[in-house]
Amino acid sequence: MALLILGVVAAALAVGYLAFYWSTQRALTFEVEKEIRLVQSNLKVFRNGLANEAERIAISNKAYASVLSEESNILLDEDLTPTPSIRGDRDIFVLLNREMKPLLTYRRDLPWHSEVFEEQLHNQLHDTMKELATQANTTQMKFRVPEPLRSHAPLALSMRDIVMVDGMIGLVTVAAITPSTEPPEGMPAVAGYLLWVRSLDIRSIRSFEDSTGLSEMFITLDKPQTDFQRVSLPLLRRNGETIANLSWKTTAASGAIFTNSWPYFLGTIGAILLMTVLILLRYIKMTDRILQNEADATHAALHDALSGLPNRTWFEIFAANVLWRDRQKQFITGIVFLDLDHFKQVNDSLGHTIGDEVIKLVAERLKAAINPEDRVARVSGDEFLLVLSQRTNVEEIIETCMYIEKMLSDAFKVEKHKILTTASMGVALSPAHGHELTALLRRADIALYEAKKLGRGRYVIFEKEMENSLQISREIEEDIKRALSANEFQNYYQPIMDATGKNILAAEALIRWNHPKKGLLPPAAFLPVAEESMLINRIGEWVLENAIKDGSSLDDVTMCVNVSPTQLRHPEFPELVNALLDKYQLEPARLELEVTEDVLINYSENVVEVIERLRSSGVKIALDDFGTGFSSLSYLRRDLFDKIKIDRSFINGAVADPKAREILASSISLGLRLGMLVCVEGVEEEEQKELLFTMDCPMMQGYLFSRPIPLGKFRLWRDDIHEERIPKPRKIRVAAVK
């Protein structure tokens, strides 16, 4: 873990440094590009000025006549050159005839240095001069404007280039010498050429510095090394060749920022980056909290938070596809129902924390014991489902079951405890025992029941004779009908507490059966049979009526009653609820009906209509066992529920497991952000209560506060809680008495 954290920190440092370097480089590049565009613009304006001046001189009748006559007394510096204010100290002017032979050369620093054209300029400007000659001789007369009307010379009869003269860079402008009016008949359109070389000397460079606001400009033949201090602009000849580079000191502040701050940045980047990442992660999650919560809750809805295995909903979808695929390819598929033997004893003797660790280790061993194409899911506390696919014979499935049996029989080491456990397995085969998943699950469950009857710690393959157990279900069904008539059922109540765990907000009604022979039976012993036989409606009505009746005697306590999907599908159910509320004079707001996500999986508009009618009458609707279904999140947007009750599987392991804790916090935040009350079920430890308090969970329920108890004991328990909250008389302040 230390190496992992070290690696993460090192990576964060590197990323932060590179990001800082990249951002300053981008900013520097942007500023440098602006400077380059500024220099290019000034250079272009400067060269346009040279070209305008050259064409002003060259496109004139006087220049045309003088050059054409090849007069020997041409005063180049006065008549055919720019004014002294425009000329540079080292400018070179050359008059060429039509054959591009120099007639006259003027150079201020080296007067009458006529060899400069032949020795240095001719070869460099050969292509440029040739191109200008072609253009000038084909230019239409429409470009000619009478000299008195011309404010500046057009740029149509000149060419530009850059040359190297005497080791210095010069900007060249070559203009064709033509008359400003129509040439005399029979006379050529071009008399010669005016060549003007402006040397980029110190005076020119300083002029650029003044006009651009830049400093430390100079010309260099070698490209300067790129850094944060200097910028260079290549000076390109007409043919695209780089002849030199114009370099200057950049005024961009970004380079200085990086240069001056990187030592300090490296010293503090670790802490700053860590805080920044945490803040960014928090705010990114806040900006997209609903979508993120939906993704987390969807994953949680299909996976067990403790073991990380898929849950029953995911398993049923996957197994149905596997059965269809294997049937097409004529493979044998095994559905295995696995239950850990005497696992309750582990929880009771060593505690749920140790039990949770055992579940995790069992999950790991099961995943290691099956083939890659197989899957295992956790469907309840110590129950698992496996699908063994792509088997060619039954012996392969038996071999896998034997291997699982051996793997789970080895002792588990948790903390200082050595825990021995075994597993009972019921196996149903496809196609031998059916093709549909529902039938195979039922028969695997029957086989599991048979394995337990035979002494546990074994696997049993389903046989037809085992279905005699259905007779047992029928007997239970008849017994339930008798119990309803004999009034053998009783409501137990479990309190729902506020965030502090000291105030009772509500009580959930949980049915028990006082069986004359079997004693007190929990709901799991008879409700599954009741659901299959449709007796669940009668039982549900009994629980609802008695909860409303008991609630009328419990002031300020909301009565929470579980409602089955079949009850909600009945269109007259809202009328039944309202009639019972009127009968026992209970305010509708003190009745909360809890529905499971099975209602949403089998969604219909009729169910939505019933829920909306109940809510319109003032009755509250809670979504029970939130997160264990498949498609609940899409229905939260329908505004059907006043409260969500987060399933106990979310709080299991949340104290020690950061991922489970984050999923729990996301689920609570999702409900609160959607404007609903949130209650977490299964709170059994003080640490869990404290954790929920830090998550701003408004309601909680679990054995930490009380197990489900009869009404009489519930009243006594509530009175005890109330008395504990009342200070002793000697400590009561007069101002606090109300």
Question: Which residues in 706-716 are b (16+ Cβ under 10 Å) and which e?
Answer: bebbebeebee
Identify whether the C-beta of residue 228 lies closer than 8 Å to the C-beta of residue 258.
yes
Query: Residues 73-99: pLDDT tens digits?
Result: 554 545 566 666 667 767 888 888 888
Region 541-550: mean pLDDT is 95
Q: At what angle do helices 312-328 and 437-453 cross, to 10 degrees?
A: 110
- Which pLDDT belongs to residue 150? 47
Stronger pLDDT, 16 or 170, i.e. the higher one: 170
Count CB neighbours of 248 within 10 A.
22
- Which pLDDT belongs to residue 151? 47
Region 201-205: mean pLDDT is 80
Long-range contacts of 463-466 (CB under 8 A, 24+ apart): none
Query: Residues 513-528: pLDDT tens digits?
Result: 999 988 888 988 888 7
Query: Which bin fits 167, alpha (ψ -120 to 50), beta or left (φ > 0)?
Result: left
Residues 6+ apart with CB under 8 A from 663: 296, 297, 299, 300, 305, 650, 654
Residues 6+ apart with CB under 8 A from 36: 231, 233
Pairwise CA distance, residues 622 & 676, whole Å = 9
Question: Which residues in 517-549 are b (16+ Cβ under 10 Å) and which e?
Answer: eeeebebeebbebbeebebbbebbbbbbbbbbb
* pLDDT of 731 above 50: no
Structure tokens at 547: 């909860």
In order of 173, 452, 505, the CA distances from 448 in angstroms are: 101, 6, 41
Region 261-283: mean pLDDT is 64
DSSP secondary-structure letter at 226?
P
- Which pLDDT belongs to residue 580? 95
- Which pLDDT belongs to residue 736? 32
Region 119-147: mean pLDDT is 71
Question: Average model confidence (pLDDT) for the chain?
Answer: 82
- Looking at the chain, the whole-number percentage of residues with pLDDT higher than 70 is 81
Beta-bridge partners for 733: none
- Which pLDDT belongs to residue 578? 95
Query: pLDDT-derived band of residue 733, with 50, 70 and 90 as boundaries?
Result: very low
Task: Annotate 518-552 with DSSP letters as a single string.
Answer: TEEE-GGGTHHHHHHHTTHHHHHHHHHHHHHHHHT
Burial class for 83, CB neighbours closer than 10 Å (0-12, 13-18, 19+): exposed
Query: Residues 437-456: pLDDT tens digits?
Result: 999 999 999 899 888 878 88
- Which pLDDT belongs to residue 245? 86
Structure tokens at 687: 């640490």
- Which pLDDT belongs to residue 401? 95
Identify whether the C-beta of residue 119 lies closer than 8 Å to the C-beta of residue 102.
no
Structure tokens at 541: 């009505």
| pTM over the 0.75 mark | no
Query: Which bin fits 50, alpha (ψ -120 to 50), beta or left (φ > 0)?
Result: alpha
Query: Residues 621-672: pLDDT tens digits?
Result: 999 888 776 545 667 777 889 999 998 889 988 888 899 899 999 999 999 9
Query: Residues 102-111: pLDDT tens digits?
Result: 887 877 666 5
- Which pLDDT belongs to residue 146? 47
Region 270-289: mean pLDDT is 66
Residue whose structure tokens are 């909600």: 568
* pLDDT of 142 above 50: no
Task: Give the 3-state secondary structure of residue 717.
Answer: helix
